[in-house]
Amino acid sequence: MQCRAPGCLAATYGYSTYCQNHKQKLRRHGAPTQDGITVHELRPYVTLVETRKAKNPTSEAWAILVARWDVVQDNARATLQRFAEGRAGNRVERLAAHHLVKVGQSVEPWVVIKTALGLFILQEQQPARFTNDAAFDFQLVRRVRGLTDSNAGAYWDHNEQRSKRVYRDIPPRVIQAMAHPLKAAFGTAGLMLAAKERQDIAKASDERRRLTTALEVLQ
């Protein structure tokens, strides 16, 4: 059987309708044709968030966003607590809570927040970069998890003479369960900041047009 991914000529892998490569992408990135958003690619959008905050240092928005992250953390800790007390719980939710708490323990709240908000701005400005909603969710979780080193094991690459990190994949359903609270906490703010960026771009191009027109009619 041929892989179902568009343009792929490889044979299907095991019971999957995709080849090994596209099957792994589906599992890791939420869609067989989704490539991971890199830290490098996300950085300019995180910078936009930082710039917006620097321009509005006294805005209440930043503290509210930190409080929202605290709520995500409280809920995740409560889920783990319920499990520790032996009360019935869902395994996927427990794992999602575990990974969210791990991020909360090792990463500053604002770093998590600006990373999440940056991803929403990236999505608004480059919608084609995401195959579908699931792919966005996976990238959101991936970049937030990537802020901690605890998801990576290290090994020594002899050829390159340096230590390399291997990211341990977590099950797709756990990724989805992690995306949900992140989107609930930061989604609206992310979309509003993205709209602000779009307004600024429109304003700048309008100003350029007026300057050109004004220069053209100079005597």
Q: Which stretch in 3-11, 120-128, 141-149, 199-207 sits in contact with Zn ion by CB under 5 A?
A: 3-11
Quick one: 89 or 172, whose CB is closer to Zn ion? 172
| Distance of closest approach, residue 179 Cβ to Zn ion, in angstroms | 25
User: Which helix (H) or strand (E) segment is 206 a member of?
Assistant: helix 172-216
CB 3 within 8 A of CB 22: yes
Question: Interface with Zn ion includes 113 (CB under 5 A)?
Answer: no
> Quick one: which of 8, 66, 92, 111 contacts Zn ion (CB under 5 A)?
8
Quick one: 10 or 64, whose CB is closer to Zn ion? 10
State the binding string over 15-44 for Zn ion (x if CB under 5 A, else -): ----x--x----------------------
Q: How far apart (Å, rounded) are the C-alpha atoms in residues 30 and 108?
A: 27
Question: Interface with Zn ion includes 3 (CB under 5 A)?
Answer: yes
Phi, psi of 157 (to 5 degrees): -90, 110
**Could you write out the three-class secondary structure of 133-149?**
HHHHHHHHHHHHHCCCC
The burial class, CB within 10 Å (0-12 / 13-18 / 19+), for 142 is buried
- Please give the residue ranges that form the binding site for Zn ion (CB under 5 A): 3, 5, 8, 10, 19, 22
